[in-house]
Amino acid sequence: MRCKAGFRKLGPGSTIALVAPAGTFDTEQCEEGARILRAAGFTLVPGKHAFKRRGYLAGADRERLVDLTEALTNPAIEAVICIRGGYGSGRLLPLIDFQSLPAAPKLFLGHSDITFLHLGLAARAGWTTFHGPNLIGMSAGENKTQTVLDLLCGKSSFHWTLGPEQVLKPGRVEGPVFGGNLSCLTRLIGTPYMPDTAGALLLIEDCGEALYRLDRMMNHLRLASVLQRLGAILLGDFDRCGREEEIYAMLLEHVSDCSFPVVCGLPFGHGARNDVIPLGAPFLLDTNERVLAILETPFIR
């Protein structure tokens, strides 16, 4: 499945919508992220319900849906950045009118629970979206700030060099990158919001999950016949999930009879670094050349 791209580079004066489709967030972190974007010259339009609270959710489902729909369909909005993940994005999927979305995708950025929206927009609207820091993550360090600003201005190279220790299974493959948070991704198997991942380079990361739970999720991918049809597995950060060597050993057991390459230690997820990567875009993974690189820029030249 190839998703639609063709994004224009943003610059001073470009308008960015800030939406909260999932959980509640720290107001100070939100304000710091907004300050960074304003200082870079962007015009920000927060969702009118973004600061609502309903238990662990950032407002009622319909309120979060209104803000998300407005951001995705308003022609004056050039990019959409999610304020936080947490929980709640998946509740919106059956409420979204995917047919009303513009044919040309908006630049849509987020991670963690936002994985539900990344996958839904790919499966139902054919959009390329961007896995990367949420707004509150931009206040967590210079690395996350710069990767977002490079994306918005069209400066991202989407090219990563691999060390020999990152190659768990060798190989060379070309295909679209899909994925995100493993816990969220496995919840969409068997639903109409899971894109066809045959031949895909599946990016997975997680946070705060015990080894046995990660094992259960990988087993779910196998039982659902998702795992066997992949082109590669790209392992991002597994923050507070235990020892990396145990995670990698468990995962290799699940793919022992698969011929595709597996690489680890990529800078995607909940860790100190969370680079931006376009989901749905075609990539090359070559462990001999030790490179993960985009094959076709998502930006209009």
Residues 84, 20 contacting (CB under 8 angstroms) = yes
pLDDT score at 143: 80
pLDDT score at 124: 97
For Cα atoms 250, 254, 257, give the angle at the middle one, nearest 5 degrees. Answer: 135
Mean pLDDT (10-residue bins), the chain, 301 residues: 83 96 96 95 96 96 98 97 98 97 94 98 97 92 87 94 98 98 98 97 98 98 97 98 97 97 97 95 98 95 68
DSSP state, residue 14: -
Q: Exposed/middle/buried for 212, CB within 10 Å: 0-12, 13-18, 19+?
A: exposed
- For all residues of the chain together, what is the average pLDDT? 96
Q: Which residues are catalytic, by number?
A: 112, 205, 270
Given the candidates 2.102.10.10, 3.40.50.300, 3.50.30.60, 3.30.160.620, the CATH classification of the domain at 159-294 is 3.50.30.60
Residue 5 has φ and ψ, to the nearest 5°, of -125, -145
15-152: in CATH 3.40.50.2000: no
pLDDT score at 6: 84
Could you tell me the residue ranges of all domains in the chain? Answer: 15-152, 159-294
